[in-house]
Structure 1
Amino acid sequence: MASNPGGRCCTIGVKHEGEAKGELKNIGNISTYFAYPEDKKTDNAVLILPDVIGHEFINAQLIADQFAANGYFVVMPDLFEGDPIPLNRPEGFDIMAWLQKGRKGKGHGKDQVDPIVEAVIKEMRDNLGVKRVGSVGYCFGAKYVARFLAKGKGIDVGAMAHPSFVDAEEIKAMTGPLTIAAAETDQIFPVEKRHETEAMLKEMSIPYQMVLYSDVEHGFAVRADMSKREAKFAKEAAFLQHVQWFDEFVKGKRDIAA
């Protein structure tokens, strides 16, 4: 694997203050958070694939609003069919059991999530006027950035922060540019997995970037403690890293043919 399966660190963090500016609407039966740029144009889009806390988590919605403020039409679907993991689950919570069976008797593996992402991308391209799709995946969502960054799957440009559950074969199948924001302390994406991923990307023909942030842990790009200067800086820098990547490869329309 290019990253390890998730653990308790995927569910802990700090809830941020702020008021969401976007709106929740449905794509079919998929609850989805939408945020629009000032000019309301939808040509250039960012598809946010969230961590296990889900699309109604205020931290994720504030990030979506920030991408919109930078000129992107933003779409963030519910990947968990109303069954996300609440923030700061107690010690002993079994995330792998949730992944396999959920809290409603239905799991959250590829068979459940792939159709959601596929349907959302189809709606974006067919009915919402989207011409180019950049996608950022946080933790759990990173796996599906990799899966849909493959040829013909619908994502043009990829970004990840502290990825989890990503298989090596999914990395190798990617055909678009990828940037990764990684935490210094991360049992899910530790040193050996970072190096393994870097070695694979080096052998591929896509543009790539990996930035390592010191003094932060898994989840920092979404759930950082903003009262800590190092964590606040890293969270904001990772966001700007992703904006710059999308500006180059989505808005800039740089040739990304693999």
Structure 2
Amino acid sequence: MASNPPGRCCVTGARHEGSPRGEIKKFNDVEVYITYPKDKNTENAILFLTDVMGHRFINAQLIADGFAENGYFVYMPDLFHGDPVSLNPPEDFDIMAWLNGPPGHLPDRVDPVVQASINEMHKTLGCKKIGGVGYCFGAKYVVRNLGYMSGVGDRLDAGYVAHPSFVERDELQAIKKPLAISAAETDSIFPTSKRHESEEILIGTKIPYQINLFSGVEHGFAVRLSEETRVGNFAKEQAFVQAITWFNIYLP
């Protein structure tokens, strides 16, 4: 693997405060949080693939609004068929049992939602270029859709992921479009060894890539930063800036 399977750190953190300005709609019976840039233009778009807390998690919605404020139309689907994980679940919560099911949340159930989302964005919503954003769980499906791992159909034009989990080596090797990664110094899911392995794979692809490593933070910091410190806030904000800057170059 290029990153390890999810663990307890994938479901813990802090709930952030704010007032989301997007809206929940349904497309093909899938709930989607959508948020528009000021000019309502949908040509440059972000497909936001969440961590296991899902599309109704306020932290994700506020980040989606941030992308919209920077000029991108954002489409954030429910990847979990109405079965996300609650933030900070009981200690006995088994994330691998949740993943493997039944009903489960593996590629056979998630890939169709992602592919339908990309198709909907292109064919119905007028999106011309689509960047994929993936946090933790969602990173796997950004990577899969930068290559040829998720079946037939349209794919993403560029990708950004933060503290990725569950990414297979062959998925990363298969990418055909630019990819940026935000990594935490302390991360059992994407530790130093996996980060270095990912660097070697990305060098071999000959595809544009970027990896930023942030000190003083842990897995999940870009979405669920728990402790408000100068260092933590800097890392969270700069991870977002990294994503915006990346898409400003690769989604012209």
TM-score w.r.t. the length of structure 1 is 0.94
Q: Please give the alpha-carbon distance, in whole angstroms, between the structure 2 residues aligned to 1:9 and 1:230.
A: 19
Q: Which aligned runs of 4 or more in structure 1 are off by greater than 4 angstroms?
A: none
Which piece of structure 1 moves more, 226-235 or 118-127?
226-235
Instruction: Using the TM superposition, give the Cα deviation of residue 225 of structure 1 relative to its aligned residue in structure 2, in angstroms.
Output: 2.6
Q: Please give the alpha-carbon distance, in whole angstroms, between the structure 1 residues aligned to 2:233 and 2:8.
A: 21
CA contact (8 A) 1:162 1:183 kept: yes
Amino acid at match of 1:42: T
TM-score w.r.t. the length of structure 2 is 0.97
Counterpart of 2:128 in structure 1 is 131
Cα offsets for 1:87-111 (capped at 9, x unmatched): 001223210000011xxx4110000
Counterpart of 1:16 in structure 2 is 16
What SS does the corresponding residue of 2:189 show, helix, strand or coil?
A: coil
Amino acid at match of 1:243: I
What are the within-5 Å matches in structure 2 for residues 32-181 of structure 1? 32-101=32-101, 105-150=102-147, 153-181=154-182
Q: Which runs of 5+ in 2 are unaligned?
A: none
Identity, % of aligned pairs? 58
Instruction: Using the TM superposition, give the Cα deviation of residue 153 of structure 1 relative to its aligned residue in structure 2, in angstroms.
Output: 4.2
Amino acid at match of 1:214: S
Amino acid at match of 1:139: C
What SS does the corresponding residue of 2:238 show, helix, strand or coil?
A: helix
What SS does the corresponding residue of 1:56 show, helix, strand or coil?
A: coil
Counterpart of 2:208 in structure 1 is 207
Q: Which runs of 5+ in 1 are unaligned?
A: 253-258
What SS does the corresponding residue of 2:74 show, helix, strand or coil?
A: strand
Amino acid at match of 1:230: V
Instruction: Using the TM superposition, give the Cα deviation of residue 231 of structure 1 relative to its aligned residue in structure 2, in angstroms.
Output: 1.2
- What is the CA RMSD across the aligned residues, in angstroms? 0.9
Change (3 A) 1:109 1:88: same
CA contact (8 A) 1:125 1:131 kept: yes
Instruction: Using the TM superposition, give the Cα deviation of residue 41 of structure 1 relative to its aligned residue in structure 2, in angstroms.
Output: 0.3
CA contact (8 A) 1:225 1:232 kept: no
What SS does the corresponding residue of 2:26 show, helix, strand or coil?
A: strand
Q: Please give the alpha-carbon distance, in whole angstroms, between the structure 2 residues aligned to 1:134 and 1:116.
A: 16
Q: Please give the alpha-carbon distance, in whole angstroms, between the structure 2 residues aligned to 1:77 and 1:46.
A: 11
Instruction: Using the TM superposition, give the Cα deviation of residue 56 of structure 1 relative to its aligned residue in structure 2, in angstroms.
Output: 0.2
